[in-house]
Structures are given as structure tokens and as C-alpha cells.
Structure 1
Amino acid sequence: MSSGRKEIQRARMWRYFLDAATEVIEKEGINHVTIRKIAEKAGYTSSTAYNYFRDLSHLKFFAAMRFTKGYTDELPVYLEKGKNTVEKWLYSWECFCRHSFEQPKIYSVIFMDNLGSVPEELLDDYYKIYRDDLIGLPEQIKLIIMEHSFSKRSALYIENAVDEGLIEKKDIDFIADTTLMIWKGMMNTVMNQRRKYTTEEAIKRTLYYVYESVIRVVNPDKREEIEFLPGRKIED
């Protein structure tokens, strides 16, 4: 079989298994996804599934990716709300928080679980099969989505704020890493029910902490240019 035909066969089999996984997630939740259950629903054996997915974590990762299309579809709309790079970046955080806290188990699988391999490679494989998910997105947003590492994604986008005189280059990694830790901390708190936050409370608190972390390193002379209302206050 030629390499081209093998790739077509691989894409076809992926779709069979991921269609089955998607159905299980929609009906039972991602915690109920098993290789055996997915293989049986797709009409194949577990051993066949392992020919295309290394283990259950990989199958769950790819299946979960299907549930992020709402986020990628809305991201350009949120970015348009900002007048400068810092505002756009903060609005992108609002978009991400709204989708991730509404589907915490899905986003935890993608961004927090141990996958046992390089996430960037998995994400690249996903978009080779599902190219349509990227159609229509601006090139800059494609880069953000394809860069799996959260801190790298943040740094990649917010770099333009240096040219705008809003922040200094030395602060980029601090902002990217700090805001990632804020989101992960709140996501862990929500999933483990350490505090009884509603989804909206979790979103608001995360955006407040993200905003406060960022505004501290923004050029004092330009802070008034950052108008991001969702992160301005928090209810105790």
C-alpha cells in the first residue's frame, strides 16, 4: 500500500474511533471512555484501536479536541474586542476560561493530564486529520492554537505588546507562566471541589487574578489604555 493510501486509511480509521468516542463522551462523559468500549462501538477490536492510538490517554486527548471547536470558533470574536495586544490577550483568556470551566474534564484532559508523550506532536497529528477545524482562522490564531504549551502560546501572542510599549520583553515569560498557574490552580480547585465555586464564579475569579497579574507589569503611563472590565473586580 502506498504512503498516500496508508494516510487515507489512517484518517478513515481515526474518524471511526473518534466518532465512537465522541458519542460515548456526549452520552456518558469523558471519564467513561475506554479503549474496549470505543472499539466495540466502532465495530473493531481493542487490538485494532491500539494500532492507531498508543494508549487510552491518547484516544481521550484526540476525542476531547473535538469538543474545543466552540472555543476556536469564538476566539476571533473575543480578540476583536481588544484595542491593543494586552486587551486582546485578556479577552482571549476570557474566551478560554468560559469554555474550559464549562467543560473542565475536557480541558483537563487536553491541558493538564499526563499524556506520556509530546503534546505538540499529538496536536499536530489531530489537525492533519481535521484540517477543516483550522479553515477560516487568521494565521496568527492558527499559530496560537497549534502551539500546545500554554505558556508558549501566551508568550507567542503577547510579544506584540512589547512593540506597542505596553510591557517589557523581560516580563513576557513571567506573565505567561503566572497566568497559566492561575488557571491550572483554579481548574484543580474546581475539579476537586475544594471550594464551592459556581462556573461563573470560577471564571470571574480567574480573570480577576489574570488581570491583576498582568496590569502590574504594564507600563504605568499606558495602564489607562487597558480597559478589560471582566477582570476589574471580584465579589467576595
Structure 2
Amino acid sequence: MSNKTIQMSRMWKYFIEATVEIIQEDGIEQVTIRKVADRAGYNSATIYNYFGEVSHLIFFASMKLLQDYVEDVSNYIKNGQTPLEKYWLSWECFCKHSFKQPSIFHAVFIMNLGDHPEKLIEDYYEMYPAELINVPDELKPILFERRITMRGKSLLQQAAQQKQIAEDHIESLNDMTILVWQGMLTNILNNRLDYDLVTAEKKTLDYIHQLVEMAKVR
């Protein structure tokens, strides 16, 4: 690794860690370029040498704050005997963590990041490769996929191959489960529902469970 690359990685991490601290102390909505620069000990202009906009800083910091989920989903998946069980368990884990940290999951999976958001995930794991060491191979494609519409599709395709669901149900089941989660999380963040986060998580899982049951081959 060249000295320039090492320096770039070091600066990149300074700003990410400063953003993480602001999120943890003040909340994600309080992140600004100026606050991050002040926390890291640099001027605002320096940040733009490494990040295109503040949403990218928030995205990378939020990825850092997803580590409990990444570790937990590996354990959840191990308990599944079939692709459909793994699909359900992955949603159970995803809902458990996303409704505990709705703003963080919104930043990673829903927030507008401009063009090529998948490249941002590649950049993140390039800077923090150690975070992938204990991740099972079957989960790595999911972790590199920012588009939530694609994250569970491989498990549903495997389920169809094993005749657990009909092949023509893959798209509809995948789309409906995602829309249920997105709708609930977005409404909670926008104060459009009276549910607390525990109730929102339970209702979301209930709806997803119903969709999975309806899609099963009888």
C-alpha cells in the first residue's frame, strides 16, 4: 500500500469516526460537514477531498453502526434448515435491528445517495476489511448489496429450486415484504403512525410471516 493510500485511508477514517460520534451523541439529523470537520480537527473544505456530500459521510458512519446487525444475522441464518427458513430468519433479524435504529437503517437502505450507491459499500469494506472476517460466504453478497430489493432474492430463488415456493412468486413475495418494511419504517420516522418501535417491529414481522406462509407450495 502506497503512502498516499495510507494517508487517504487514515483521513477517511478520521472523518467517519467523527461522524459516528456525532450520531451517537446528538442524533443523525445533527450531522453537518462543519460539525464533522470541527470534531475531526480539520476545516470543512478538507472533507470534500474525500467525500462528495454529507449523505456519504452519514452512510459510511451508519455502516459502521450496523456491526451488531452484521454479527447477529450470521447467527440467525445458521439456525435455518431451508432457504425459506433462512429468508424468514434474516427478516426477523433485520426487523429486530432496524426498529431499534430506524434512522441508521434508513440512511443505509433508503436514503438517496446519488449515483452508484453500491460503490460506496465496496469502498467501505475496502477500508474496513476486518469487518468481513467472520461473515459466512453466503452472507457476503447480501452485505455488498445496498439495493434492498436484491438482498433476499437469492434465498427466494433457492427456495423455488427446492419447491418451497413457486418460481412465479419470487418477485411478488420479495417486493411485498420489502414494501411492508419500508412503509412501516418510513411512517415511523415521519411520525405518521402512533405505534411505538416494539409494536412496529411486531406488526411488520406478522405481515411478512403472513406473506411467506401464503407463498408456500402446499
Q: What CA deviation, in whole Å up to 9, does each residue of 1:35-71 have, x standing for no partner?
A: 1110111111111100000001111111111110000
TM-score by length of 1: 0.89
SS of equivalent to 1:123: helix
1:159 Cα deviation after fit: 1.6
Bigger mean CA offset, 48-57 vs 114-123: 114-123
Residue correspondence of structure 1 range 132-147 to structure 2 within 5 A = 132-147=130-145
Q: Displacement of 1:136 after TM fit?
A: 1.0
Q: Is the 8 A contact 2:84 2:155 kept in 1?
A: no
Q: C-alpha distance in 1, partners of 2:215/2:29? A: 40
Partner of 2:109: 111
Once residues 156 and 121 of structure 1 are traced to their aligned partners in structure 2, the CA distance between those partners, rounded to angstroms, is 20
> How far apart are residue 169 of structure 1 and its match?
2.1
Any residues of structure 2 matched to 1:38-117 within 5 Å, and which? 38-117=36-115
Q: What do residues 83-114 of structure 1 show as CA deviations (whole Å, max 9, x unaligned)?
A: 21111111110101011110111111111111
The one-letter amino acid paired with 2:91 is W
Which residue is 1:155 aligned to? 153
Q: Given that residues 144 and 157 in structure 1 are in contact (C-alpha distance below 8 angstroms), is that contact kept between their aligned partners in structure 2? A: no
RMSD (Å), alpha carbons: 1.2
TM-score normalised according to structure 2 size: 0.96
CA contact (8 A) 1:64 1:109 kept: yes
| 1:172 paired to 2:170 | yes
Question: Paired residue for 1:225?
Answer: none
> CA-to-partner distance for each residue in 1:168-207, whole Å, 9 max, x for gaps?
2222121111111110000011112222212211111111
Aligned length: 218
- 1:6 deviates by 2.6
- Counterparts of 2:97 and 2:116 in 1: how far apart (Å)? 24
Alpha-carbon deviations, 1:127-158, whole Å to 9, x = none? 11011111111111111111111111111222
Runs (4+) off by over 6 Å: none
**Separation (CA, whole Å) in 1 of partners of 2:2 and 2:147:** 30
Please tell me the residue identity of whatever aligns with 1:10: M
Q: Is the 8 A contact 2:86 2:155 kept in 1?
A: no
Verify the 8 A CA contact 1:167 1:219 in the aligned structure 2: yes
Structure 2 CA distance, aligned partners of 1:9 and 1:170? 50
CA distance in 2, matches of 1:217, 1:20: 45
Separation in structure 2 between the aligned mates of residue 148 and residue 6 of structure 1, nearest angstrom: 28
Identity in percent: 40
2:10 matched to 1:12?
Answer: yes
